[in-house]
Amino acid sequence: MPKTIGILTAGGDCPGLNAVIRAVGKTLAASSHRLLGFKDGFDGIAFDRTMPLGENDFSGLLTLGGTILHTSRNKPHKMPVGKEILDMTNAIVDNYHKHQLSCLICIGGGGTHKNALRLKNQGLNIVTLPKTIDNDLSGTDITVGFHTAVDTVTRAIDNLHSTASSHKRIMLVEIMGHRTGWLALAGGIAGGGDVILIPEIPYKPEMVAETIKHRSRSGKLFSIVPIAEGVYPLDAQIAFANATARKAAANNKQKKEAAKQELMQLHEKYTHKTVELARQLEQITGLETRVTILGHLQRGGTPTPYDRLLATRLGTACVDCILQEQFGVMIAVRGEKLMPVPLDEIAGKLKSVPINHDWISCARKTGITFGD
């Protein structure tokens, strides 16, 4: 009996998403099963916004960035409907059965996996695929999109070397990664950064300046400082930790809302933290300093061959899993292999950079410092 499989992309987009959709669709078509796309993340299955995907719909997708299904960060149980926020879980379950889905594939990062687990616990057959440029998903060595973002960051830092050298400047490059340093670390090493700042390693501006002054004394009159967007000065880290603790301890809606407001104000207050660090470094070292924030450039572009291969492997492995009726799992990358991992084990868990990670030790051996 031909099966109908649902698929959606949720959370931040990244290069490689369309390559995954293509791999799933072509594999299903080869065994006469149907692929039904749901648009705009979980909104699509909540509000029944479908996009049937037939075998003629996949040409050109391997190299196309972004997602043809579009995406959103909305959560099934907290879905904006007009001016209200509604729990659309039941609507999702109804639409899942209305379309007689055998399984719903959710392609996403941390938030998506928490939402996918909730739907699995509602009795839906769910298989997820790991994607995010942050590579911060627990349970998998790597995520679709990370490799391409590292390539983008590396090329950006390459471009900064010539202007930093010409002007004998310190160049701070703010790199995405949400609350982890994977992207800044990988792109910083590959791009030849001199001091790499990541959330996992607390830094002191004076220590950053020390490396820069040491470089100056040995005739290297410019420095490149890749800094992850999740890096904050110590006072901010303490304030965030206190506000986060208050939010976790809040025993009523009012206290929870107050703590959320406090966190938003802190984010607002420290929005320009990288510019502030640049000013401090300029003051300490006497060198001109400039800031480049790479922003959403890191989410764009055509996927690298590595990500196209990874996307194709994950898409086909996902279909194998579905046809073997193995549900409630994420297809994870473990070394050279792909394997299904129970959603219960990984959903909601952040994968930070271990401070003894090989990338950190190899960076230090080449003279890169981390502000510590």
- Give me the residues that bind ligand F6P (CB under 6 A), please: 12, 109, 132-134, 176-178, 229, 299
- When the beta carbons of 170 and 173 are compared against ligand F6P, the nearer one is 173
Q: Determine contact, residues 134/14, Cβ cutoff 8 Å.
A: no
**Minimum gap (Å) between residue 76 Cβ and ligand F6P:** 18
- When the beta carbons of 112 and 312 are compared against ligand F6P, the nearer one is 112
Query: How far is residue 149's CA from residue 152's CA, in Å, rounded to a whole number?
Result: 5
Q: Determine contact, residues 285/209, Cβ cutoff 8 Å.
A: yes
- When the beta carbons of 207 and 266 are compared against ligand F6P, the nearer one is 266
Q: How far is CA 254 from CA 36, 103, 163, in A?
A: 41, 39, 51
Query: How far is residue 348's CA from residue 225's CA, in Å, rounded to a whole number?
Result: 31
- When the beta carbons of 43 and 134 are compared against ligand F6P, the nearer one is 134
Main-chain dihedrals φ then ψ at residue 23, nearest 5 degrees: -65, -45
**Minimum gap (Å) between residue 40 Cβ and ligand F6P:** 14
Whether 134 is a known active-site residue: answer: yes
Q: Three-class SS string for 324-344?
A: CCCCCEEEEEECCEEEEEEHH
- When the beta carbons of 91 and 153 are compared against ligand F6P, the nearer one is 153
Burial class, 71, CB count within 10 angstroms (exposed 0-12 / middle 13-18 / buried 19+) = buried
**Minimum gap (Å) between residue 217 Cβ and ligand F6P:** 36
Locate 214 and state its tokens. Answer: 């040491």
Q: State whether residue 178 is helix, strand or coil.
A: coil
**Minimum gap (Å) between residue 296 Cβ and ligand F6P:** 6
Query: How far is residue 136's CA from residue 334's CA, in Å, rounded to a whole number?
Result: 14
Q: Determine contact, residues 253/85, Cβ cutoff 8 Å.
A: no
Burial class, 2, CB count within 10 angstroms (exposed 0-12 / middle 13-18 / buried 19+) = exposed
Q: Which residues lie below 8 Å from residue 254, measured CB to CB, with a gap of 6+?
A: none
- When the beta carbons of 35 and 156 are compared against ligand F6P, the nearer one is 156
Helix segments in the chain, DSSP class H: 17-30, 42-46, 89-98, 110-120, 146-167, 182-190, 205-217, 234-249, 253-269, 273-285, 305-323, 343-346, 358-365
**Minimum gap (Å) between residue 136 Cβ and ligand F6P:** 8
Point out the catalytic residue in the list 134, 136, 151, 194.
Answer: 134
**Minimum gap (Å) between residue 175 Cβ and ligand F6P:** 9
**Minimum gap (Å) between residue 12 Cβ and ligand F6P:** 3
Q: Determine contact, residues 328/153, Cβ cutoff 8 Å.
A: no
- When the beta carbons of 26 and 299 are compared against ligand F6P, the nearer one is 299
The residues that are catalytic are 134
